[in-house]
A and B are shown apart, each in its own frame.
Chain A
Amino acid sequence: MKENVASMIVFLLLLFLNIRLLKGQSPPGKPFIFKCRSPEKETFTCWWRPGADGGLPTNYTLTYHKEGETITHECPDYKTGGPNSCYFSKKHTSIWTIYIITVNATNQMGSSVSDPRYVDVTYIVEPDPPVNLTLEVKHPEDRKPYLWVKWLPPTLVDVRSGWLTLQYEIRLKPEKAAEWETHFAGQQTQFKILSLYPGQKYLVQVRCKPDHGFWSVWSPESSIQIPNDFTMKDITVWIFVAVLSTIICLIMVWAVALKGYSMVTCIFPPVPGPKIKGFDTHLLEKGKSEELLSAFGCQDFPPTADCEDLLVEFLEVDDSEDQQLMPAHSKEHSGPGMKPTDLDPDNDSGRGSCDSPSLLSEKCEEPQANPSTFHTPEVIEQPEKPKANVTHTWDPQTISLVGKMPYLSVNGSKSSTWPLLQPGQHNTNSPYHNIADMCKLATSLDKIDKDALQSSKTTEAAGEEKATKQREVESSHSKAEQDTGWLLPKEKPPFISPKPLDYVEIHKVNKDGALSLLLKQKENGDQTGKAGTPETSKEYAKVSRVMDNNILVLVQDPGAQNVALFEESTKEAPPSPSQNQAEKDLSSFSTAPSDCRLQQGGLDYLDPACFMHSLH
């Protein structure tokens, strides 16, 4: 029975408990005071965190007692601080005193008490952030602009009486930057920021800390836009500079584009390549030497004795340092048969032995006309037509050239066989001018000496040329200011010029034993009576004396190896007999020279020994 009652009671109890448990109600959990804070060391607030509420409405009460007191007080203000808080006003706050605070949680089921929290207001001071943060960009004179930051202490803090001493800290950053730049400001409520990036928008914050407390939170951001460094005046100056430089660049580009080639050639003059006038490189490539050489007007290379048509004459008009005619020169690009348009004295290219005669002949022909061929004989032929139709003989050419020469001397054209283009003078015209005159003279001469020229003998012609020359020189002695005589016999003092004399180059000897003479320019300090020493020893004969019988004795040049004893009639003597004699004399040499000739390559030379033997 008793056992039944006992078990019954137990069962009921368990049932009761079960019911309770099934409902899920329990006493509240233990709250926890997690934070107490004083903003100005005059009041403070504590917050707690409630525990499990046990499913029932729970009532929280905060109780405390102070150090040195025994009275327990309850929280005077649950509202001001928000939910689950207790606000201690000034009346209830004592500094340098420990508060022992506890929170009770009570619900229907039970209650629980939190752990006591020992709070001394002295050490929980955490103020509000400063207020009234103002930013200003100041522009002092002669200095860079700076940012002037001003603020006020938080409203609750009593700084004026010295109850709390605050220290401040500000931080700023450009809007897009990631990190803040922090500055400690001490106890002052203003600050200067000097290092600023112009044109940026800055964000600034400030916070404060009491002398022995905690830092406040950062104040809300204040922003300011830093103006750009550039003033309007600077911008306009830079725009102007940019536009000006662009215009200059465009002008330079345009100039270069238009005259690029000429400028380049001005800076880097083209290096002339070697080119022989009349030399067709294509022919050379093909390997047809005959055609190539024929272009020169040379029939054979090396030139043979039959090279009748090769007329090489050198006109030497010795004079002062004035302009010289250089008909042989031509630019390489003028091509064969072309009249030289530019007389380049230094242009040796393409000038071979064949050039000069052709050019001379061309000039003689027609300065203004376009010489079509390089075949000098043809060109020269024209003025000579009335006299002799020897297009490929050198006689008329020589005559004409001879004619030219005295003319040149007469006119004082100061032109030499190789006309040197004097700068700044009418050089280009002069050769032509002179050539024209020369041609006229040649024609006149031809007329005069028609009879003499009738002789087809080269020797006669050779002698004749000298004679004509001398005659011409005599006739126009009055004008012969400049000395051009190159073969002046001793008997003709008037023709002896103080200047160096012309030389005769024995160019070749044809099969008849006639000498083809080249008039060679030579300026030399030779005395009169002698022909000037030839400059190239090999090719020239020097007139050593004139013999009684109108014979010019040619001796070998000191350096030369050949000497040609050449008989020539002087001008007084009737041309024909002298010529005949000269021819006779020469004819006797016909064989000899051939022997002698072979001793030398290239041009034909007359071995002096041969002649000497012959003569004696």
Chain B
Amino acid sequence: MNMSKVYKANVCKRENRKIADFLWSGVFPASITTMDSKWSRRTAGSLLLLLVSNLLLCKSTASLPICPSGAVNCQVSLRDLFDRAVILSHHIHKLSSEMFNEFDKRYTQGRGFITKAINSCHTSSLSTPEDKEQAQQIHHEDLLNMVLRVLRSWNDPLYHLVTEVRGMQEAPDAILSKAIEIEEQNRRLLEGMEKIVGQVHPGIKENEIYSVWSGLPSLQMADEDARLFAFYNLLHCLRRDSHKIDNYLKLLKCRIIYDSNC
């Protein structure tokens, strides 16, 4: 996906910057002053070679077609950021929904777990709009922040979900692969959203508020039923929140980019 390329480009830049800093700050001065040390010379040379090769590689991965060459302040346009964000969020919810359905069909069908999964999502405390009117009344900055909060709240649970699904008896491949995919995409979406926020209202750096998830012990319970319910609940909440994010982002896109005229 395009977001992955952006992510990789960022990684490349960061790493190369680190290497360059290391070279310039550490090795080279030492090597220049004391040339007698062959080891240091060799180290400097290899690091330089590494830097050059990394730059070349980074160039290939970072060849995103969105930035026209020669632009001074090359940034991905907001429209493209939103398009990519919507694509990601749509994809995440689709996977979540499938994962939940498969899990339910396989493990908890007809056991009435839904009755117990009432009001048990850890993100309920985040005051998110509950209908269209509310969502349209909220300012887009606040809405963006809400999206970010929800996304951040799910970093941890997703990570543990993958771990725990892998450890399940007869680990279902379909559910596991989806969990892995969701986790990765969620991370990318978060990065993209941070970029969007940086473009929409730069300068404002809010506190990173998010809901803490404490359901890990439930996932690791010995009781099979309790454990299954914990999974069920987690997947249920994931499905809902991914839908929320998707909905909000589509609203925001139409509002910001197309001026409410999608």
Contact = CB atoms under 8 A, between A and B. Distances in A.
A99 B261 CA distance: 32
Interface string A152-163: 000000111111
Contacts of B132: 41-42, 95, 158, 161, 163
B255 A162 contact: yes
A95 B251 CA distance: 15
Contact of B130 (A94, A116, A159): A94
A116 B132 CA distance: 26
A118 B257 CA distance: 37
B251 A162 contact: yes
A68 interface: yes
Nearest to A165: B250
A97 interface: yes
Interface in A91-144: 93-98, 100, 116, 118, 120, 122
Contacts of B244: 96
A122 B243 contact: yes
B93 A67 contact: no
Contacts of A68: 118-119, 124
B255 A161 contact: yes
Chain B CB within 10 A, most for which of A42, A67, A118, A212: A212
B240 A122 contact: yes
A96 B254 contact: no
Nearest to A121: B131
Interface string A194-235: 000000000000000001100000000000000000000000
B94 A212 contact: yes
Contacts of A41: 132
Contacts of A97: 130
Contacts of A98: 114, 118
Interface in B75-102: 90, 93-94, 97
Contact of B131 (A42, A161, A212): A42
B109 interface: no
Nearest to B248: A162
B208 interface: no
Interface residues of B, number: 31
Interface in B220-262: 240, 243-244, 246-247, 250-255, 258, 260-262
Nearest to A69: B119
A90 interface: yes
Given A94-B131, A98-B118, A212-B93, A160 B254 contact: yes
A158 B135 CA distance: 13
Contacts, number: 69
B136 interface: yes
Nearest to B124: A68
A161 B114 contact: no
A97 to B, nearest CB: 6
Contacts of A162: 250-255, 258, 260, 262
B115 interface: yes
Nearest to B117: A98
Chain B CB within 10 A, most for which of A41, A95, A98, A159: A95
B36 interface: no
B133 interface: yes
B122 to A, nearest CB: 14
A160 B262 contact: yes
Contacts of A93: 131
Given A118-B114, A161-B260, A163-B251, A211 B90 contact: yes
A90 to B, nearest CB: 7
Nearest to B115: A118
Nearest to A120: B240
Contacts of A116: 115
Contacts of B254: 160-162
B93 A159 contact: no
Contact of A160 (B115, B133, B240, B260): B260
Contacts of A95: 130-132, 247
A471 to B, nearest CB: 126
Nearest to B243: A122
A42 B133 CA distance: 9
A130 to B, nearest CB: 16
A211 B262 CA distance: 14
B262 A159 contact: yes
Nearest to B118: A67
A297 B255 CA distance: 129
A100 B112 CA distance: 13
A71 to B, nearest CB: 14
Nearest to B112: A118
6 contacts: A68-B124, A95-B131, A95-B132, A160-B254, A160-B260, A165-B262
The 10 closest A-B pairs by CB, nearest first: A162-B254, A162-B250, A68-B119, A94-B130, A162-B251, A162-B262, A118-B114, A67-B118, A67-B119, A163-B132
Interface of B: 90, 93-94, 97, 114-115, 118-119, 124, 128, 130-133, 135-136, 240, 243-244, 246-247, 250-255, 258, 260-262
Interface of A: 41-42, 67-68, 90, 93-98, 100, 116, 118, 120, 122, 158-163, 165, 211-212
